[in-house]
Amino acid sequence: MSEQILDENGGKTATTIETSAEQGGAQRYAPAEIEPRWQAVWDADETLYAAEPHDSGKPKYYCLEMLPYPSGQLHIGHVRNYAIGDALARFMWMRGHNVLHPMGWDAFGLPAENAALKNHVPPREWTLSNIAAMRKQFQRLGMSFDWSSEVTTCLPDYYRWNQWFFLKMFEAGLAYRKKSKVNWCPKCCTVLANEQVINGRCWRHEDTLVEQRDLTQWFLRITKYADQLLDGLDKLEGWPEKVRTMQRNWIGRSEGTFVDFNVVASGETVKVFTTRVDTIYGATSVQLAPEHPVAKAFAATNPELAAQIEEMLAQQKAAREAGDIGAIEKHGVATGRFAVNPFNGEQVPVWVANYILADYGTGAIMSVPAHDERDFEFASKYGLPIRRSIAPAGATEEPALPYTGEAEAVLIDSGEWTGMACLEAQEKMAAFAKASEFGTPTVTYRLKDWGVSRQRYWGTPIPMVYCTSGKCDPEQPQPAPENSLPILLPEQIAITQEGGSPLGRVPEFVNTTCPTCGGTARRETDTMDTFVDSSWYFYRYTDSKNTTAPFDSEKVAYWFPIDQYIGGVEHAILHLIYSRFWTKVMRDLGLIVNDEPAERLFTQGMVIKDGAKMSKSRGNVISPDLMIERYGADATRMYALFAAPPDRDLEWQEEGVAGISRFLSRVYTLVRRAPAAGEGGEPGDAARRLQRKTHQTIAKITWDFDGRWHFNTTIAAIMQLVNEAYLVEAEVASTSPEIWGETMRVLVQLIAPFAPYLAAELWQQVGDGGVVFRSPWPVANEEMAKEDEIEVPVQVNGKLVTVVRLAAGSDEAAIKEAAVADEKVTGRVVGKTVVKVIVVQGKLVNLVVK
Ligand code: ANZ
Ligand code: ZN
Ligand code: ZN
């Protein structure tokens, strides 16, 4: 749809602007001249986009876009992301708000180390020079960032607070060390969080399978906040439903029951996790994950079983490596042992099965083939008994199996519980299990604690110390004293691809003194996951130069929550769940009062080229620099907003940017061409129409900003206003200079959020001598915006014949009368009878004629 509008307004009519008639002798639109000139003015003025103090008395507006990783170059997707935020920030300034619109750099991470390996540039140097280059690009784009609050996460003035938070979390029992199976990327040479493993592969290396290793690692206890993170989602009405659903699924809260099955003639107990304890009379086996300790115990005396478990594990590994762990065929083996169902005393066989996950629930289940899809498949394959234990209430026929209904079902053949509704039975049977001491109601989560240790150099050193003097327990990590922060990353370091943390090879870093005994000690050499950096950076923006605290709580109380956060949906889980967690921890530490970081979240669509995601390997990457060089920053930005609604994918087409550039040229010519002073007098029809259009456009655009951000239609509306102005220019500019002047002034203000350079340039001519971005946003005059005529299409037998014009507010009778009397209508009706005249809500008339 937007393409069509572009053609109408930017394309076809654009040819006319090349004619000397429209150019009218005025200078041509030259973004290459205008833009750098204004950029120099803006760059020199530190106060232009700076937020005012938190006690300025104005309503605040915190407009935030996700901070980029300083790879060295902005890509076109960035341009889109930041063009959205920039338009919003400028709009809010013009609406009289105190706006915080900051920018920073997510500057730690592996690419800097890879670059160091490849080009022998130290990570710090590489990163800082990339930042400088990208800051220039942002400035060239004319982004209204408050550079006085810039945050760079790889600098000690920032990362010292990561360390400080870590110590606070350690103190609060939220940071702990444990040995566990962890995800290891052989390419990154480091551990990954669960959130960083996608389909068994590294999030940074789509082609690299993640391995499992046993390592001692630092974890943050995000699971302690699982319920709060989940419940909070209900209140985040300003977040996309899609993101909330993804987070709900990631947290994966599941209410159920633990039930103990004692193994016959053995001291072992198998604890199963079930969400359907109401079906337990239908359990016909117990199934263990191949990794389950009880399975291992059985295997110790059963070499055949041991071999089969080994095979299962190998198969799983192979499937994981082939990337289709989900497609693996269900496969199991009987252990020869039996376990007792504590509800009915029945003995059921114990199996080991490859579809039982080791790290979910207890790694063991009771299998109810009659009422569970997977169990049904498994039991059918191995001929295990299938026994019904629930049925639809009052049903006369048996439902097909597996029958999973719970809302409408009752228990059958379930001893004393028979006849009870499933949902009630779930609660009562769990309580009974607890009272009988063979089970307990429980809640399980998919969410696991956040593994934050990384065996890499370019990250925040974890501020922990291990005593080596022999006087303290060497395994007991000790927090580094707060006054020793920041624990600095050593600058001169050889980056290699070897295993283990590179910091471990720097004695000046490793060797320290024990905070307890004063003897020799060794520093922790792991660094923090870079998602720690981005978990709280937006708080730091409010007080980025603070040297005594991460921020001033009062400032945060003023600015938070973020009014609008804008970024890519790829962060729906990782960053957006970690930063919600961090917010809750900071709140519990008494640092902030808000429960959630951001009131509203917007996730923009991707920019694609020729139907595919842009990537270097496809060779379809669009360089913003090239676009700016050819069409200017204004046209590039405006196109990014115009070519598609911001939440949809955008197919980048250079002709479209050219079209926008022609449109801006039309605006330039129109506003620049100072009309010949006319004699004035009563405004005529054309002037009234232009005035109406102007106020309608103001109303639409204001509504768009407050509402749905359909910037494509917003910009199309401005295009229509420009078209209308061109049509009546000769008449209105001379006879109604006031109305003409108002239209030009409003036009410049309306384009200011989208094409700031051109707006600044033209404001010199039509403005009040101030800065256009601080001029009050125009207010639509309802009276003026009101249509004084309505247009009603008239049909005869459903076919459009004409459109009649009437005074606004005409009633049905008047509409009917005008329709019937219209020449075109009477011409059609001649010699026939009008059977009926239907007026549809005053918007359409249809004559039924025979
Ligand atoms: C018996 C049963 C009967 C089950 C029935 C379901 C339906 P969610 O909702 O995802 O939490 N389960 C438990 N632990 C498992 C594991 N480690 N690997 C594979 N499956 C596991 O799912 C919980 C259900 O998934 C549990 O309830 C269990 O099967 C299975 F008609 O127990 B149920
Ligand atoms: Zn990797
Ligand atoms: Zn010691």
Q: Measure the CA–CA gap between 87 and 82, rounded to whole angstroms.
A: 8
How many other CB atoms sit within 10 Å of the CB of residue 170? 21
Q: Which residue from 410, 406, 408, 402 is spatially nearest to 378, judged by alpha carbons?
A: 402
Q: Say what the pLDDT of residue 19 is.
A: 35
Distance CA 712, CA 1 (A): 9
Supply the residue whose CA is at minimum distance from atom 20 of ligand 1. 356
Measured from the alpha carbon of residue 109, the closest ligand is 2
Give residue 13's pLDDT. Answer: 34
For residue range 151-208, what is the model confidence (pLDDT) as tens digits? Answer: 999 999 999 999 999 999 999 999 999 998 888 888 888 888 887 888 888 888 888 8
Q: What is the DSSP string of 329-396?
A: PP-EEEEEEEEE-TTT--EEEEEEETTS-TTSTTSEEEE-TTT-HHHHHHHHHHT------EEETT-S
- The model's pTM is 0.85
Task: Give which of 599, 605, 602 is closest to 566, Cα–Cα.
Answer: 602
Closest ligand 1 atom number to CA of residue 360: 17
**Is the separation of the CB atoms in 110 and 457 below 8 Å?**
no
Whether residue 692 has its Cβ less than 6 Å from ligand 1? no
- Residues 6+ positions from 494 with CB-CB distance below 8 Å: 502, 505
Which ligand 1 atom is at minimum distance from the Cα of 404? 31
Q: Report the nearest-CA residue for atom 2 of ligand 1.
A: 276
- Tell me phi and psi for residue 621, to 5 degrees: -85, 135
In ligand 1, which atom is closest to the CA atom of 277? 1
Is any ligand 1 atom within 6 A of the Cβ of residue 513?
no
- pLDDT tens digits, 661-706: 999 999 999 999 866 566 666 788 899 999 999 999 999 999 999 8
Binding site membership of 366 for ligand 1 (Cβ less than 6 Å): yes
Ligand with an atom nearest the CA of residue 184:
2
Ligand 2 center from residue 186 Cα (angstroms): 7
Ligand nearest to the CA of 474: 3
Q: Is-cis flag, bond preceding 486, omega within 30?
A: yes
Checking if the pLDDT of 20 tops 50, the result is no
CA 432 to chain centre: 44
The least confident of 1-5, 114-118, 293-297, 350-354 is 1-5
Does the beta carbon of 368 lie inside 6 Å of ligand 1?
Answer: yes
User: Per mean pLDDT, which of 13-22, 575-584, 807-816 is the most reliable?
Assistant: 575-584
- Give the number of C-alpha atoms closer than 13 A to the C-alpha of residue 176, restricted to the C-beta side: 11
Give me the mean pLDDT over the 506-528 stretch.
Answer: 96
| Mutation choice for ligand 1 from 272, 275, 401, CB with most ligand atoms inside 8 A | 275
Average pLDDT over residues 57-73: 95
Whether 21 shows a pLDDT value over 80: the answer reads: no
Among 261, 273, 354, name the best residue to mutate to test ligand 1's pocket (greatest count of ligand atoms within 8 A of Cβ).
273
Instruction: Indicate the top mutation candidate among 280, 365, 406 to test ligand 1's pocket, ranked by most ligand atoms within 8 A of CB.
Output: 365
Ligand 1 near 445 CB (within 6 A): no
Name the residue at shortest CA distance from atom 7 of ligand 1: 372
- Among protein residues, the one with the nearest Cα to ligand 1's atom 27 is 274
List the residue whose alpha carbon is closest to atom 12 of ligand 1. 365
Distance 725 CA to ligand 2 centre (A): 57
Find out whether the beta carbon of 274 lies less than 6 Å from any atom of ligand 1.
yes
Residues with Cβ within 8 Å of residue 309, at least 6 apart in sequence: 290, 295, 296, 299, 333, 352
- Lowest-pLDDT range of 292-301, 357-366, 378-387, 607-616: 607-616
CA of 420 to the centre of ligand 2 (A): 52
Give the per-residue SS3 of 496-537. CCCCCCHHHHCHHHHEEECCCCCCEEEECCCEECCCCHHHCH
For residues 67-76, b (16+ Cβ closer than 10 Å) or e, as one string?
bbbbbbebbb
For 388-433, write each residue's pLDDT tens digit. 999 999 888 889 999 998 788 999 999 999 999 999 999 999 999 9
Of the ligands numbered here, which is closest to the C-alpha atom of 405?
1
Q: Atom 26 (ligand 1): residue with closest C-alpha?
A: 274
- Tens-place pLDDT, residues 281-337: 999 999 999 999 999 999 999 999 999 999 988 887 777 666 565 667 888 999 999
Indicate if ligand 1 lies below 6 Å from the C-beta of 598.
no
User: Is residue 12 pLDDT above 60, yes or no?
Assistant: no
Q: For residue 675, what pLDDT is reported?
A: 65
**169 CB near ligand 1 (under 6 Å):** no
Model confidence pLDDT, tens digit, residues 94-123:
999 999 999 999 999 988 988 888 888 999
